[in-house]
Structure 1
Amino acid sequence: MQKRILITGAAGFLGSHLSDRFINEGYHVIGMDNLITGDLKNIEHLFKLPQFEFYHHDVSKFIHVTGHLDYILHFASPASPIDYLKIPIQTLKVGSLGTHNCLGLAKAKNARILVASTSEVYGDPLVHPQTENYWGNVNPVGPRGVYDEAKRFQEAITMAYHTFHQVQTRIVRIFNTYGPRMRLNDGRALPAFIGQALRGEDLTVFGDGSQTRSFCYVDDLVEGIYRLLMSDCAEPVNIGNPDEISLKDFAEEIIQLTGTQQKIVYKPLPADDPKQRQPDISKAKALLNWGPKVNRAEGLKITYNYFKQLPASELHKLPKDFINK
């Protein structure tokens, strides 16, 4: 019998790449997305396939899927500051009610479920690099609290279903990821920098640019998620690339990559902006035999070429502001 997997947030950046991966692995993929931040263009190439079906549905409401399910990947959630500052209530609901619904479905179908958590559960970390046993430094009522706490609750209820109902659960803590199908206007540093370079604008860095990020190419992330799903590990696992860089240096890399002559301009640092972000991936290496393979120069070239091919209407579809997440 063909294995079946439900992927929530399937029309998003990560969800669409995961849909591709599981189609290629021979699964029947059921995609689900309410399209608040997802885009059908990311998965339109799958619509012609008999092993793919799509439901336009909000997972914060009751979920019904006919037939058996072997796996569930819960990736439905706004993931950029622009989104979760604009739709804070929906962000909290998809992390709480949406996760509850997915876990209930996993229990009913006796399916294994993997939920997408984030490095944001560490907040503005006081431990560097971040390990899975670090509990974080999070402001629950700050501007990022709606996302941070939604994901922290998501981890808590997932572990509760594992311990109380014996549901097979997996938790991935995703660090900054990039690649084709990212939204150019989603407010995060990498697409924001490339978009500004393509439009001939100066690159905006918040604060003095000394805050750090660690960027993982999407293919590496998908491989880590696949291995975690197939593993026996119920505890949270960091998946990301530990190659850390300051945002100032990263902006300079983008200027060099795009061959533009823009300069860097600095703006005040937003509230609760993390000063450091670097995953400790010792656990992923030991348990999953996983590590990133695509270096930043190679991944950025692929991503830049993708953005260059976007229509002008996408290039100039700008948010009111953005945050160097």
Structure 2
Amino acid sequence: MNKNDLAILMIIRSWLVAVCLIFSGFVQANEFSRCVTDMSGRQVCLKTSHPNIISLSPGSTELLFAAGAGGQVIAVDEHSDYPSAVEQLPSIGGFPVINVEAIVGMKPDLVVVWVGGDSPKVMGQLESLGVNTFHLNAVDFSGIEQAILSLGKISGTEKQAEQSVSAFRARLSSLAKTFSQLEPVTVFYEIWRSPLMTVGNGILINDVISLCGGNNVYGDQDQKIPKIGIESLIIRNPQAIIGSAPQGDTPETRREMKRFWGQWENLQAVKTGQLFSVPSDLISRTSPRILDGAEILCRQLQDVRSRQAAALNNLNSSH
């Protein structure tokens, strides 16, 4: 091999090395992987920067949109109704009847499920079929923040998620400064009537009551949704009774509250007419809109304080 042939060979070799390096860089640039730990402590990994997502609960749907990932949601459960954009999305059924076959057929990159809310059977079926699931389990205000941030990370919308959490924290702080240190109002929160059920410790509604300067009369119960007897409630004798209704605190719901609770006229809340309702979606869903429900409840407890102060003034002036 002469010098010219050797030179040509070296040029070809250098060219091949350059091509290999370029191709290797191209492959590496296109090998995307994002891994995020969900709220069950599972590491969930995606191979796409813009995942197609299905949500199986209203709370999950609201949190996805709060995280800035609403544009990536391709289907929701039939109970998801907020924000209005979800009305245009396909439905995959609703708890407890979820259409697993339809979900698999849509080939989502991710299905967001709510631990303790969505059916464990459905979650198991999806995971056994190789569907990527992301577990949420927000039970308090900090859990809402964590859920939004983690959904932002897995969806690639971290900036929007951080902005949403910042706004949530500011609003929560404002409510706490305004209401949490006011004169306590004892509260019974009605979850169900037959049997009579309320909220105990470890559930977000209890935290909302505390945020508003209320004192949940069953907040000492470790059971999240305890069944109670009316005799027990009469002993605890709350200053306000609050329930929930789809339409919230309307004249109709107040009449219904008065009709039912009027059976126990000796209850302080019944005597003074301190019977209220909060819109169901705003108080039961663990999403940023819980603060909309909190604002309503806080104003209701402030109404109780104002009425009590007026009654006391009238009593003092009569003497």
Compute the TM-score of the two structures, normalised by the length of structure 1. 0.31
Question: Bigger radius of gyration, 1 or 2?
Answer: 2
Q: TM-score, length-normalised on structure 2? A: 0.31
Select the structure that is richer in helix.
2
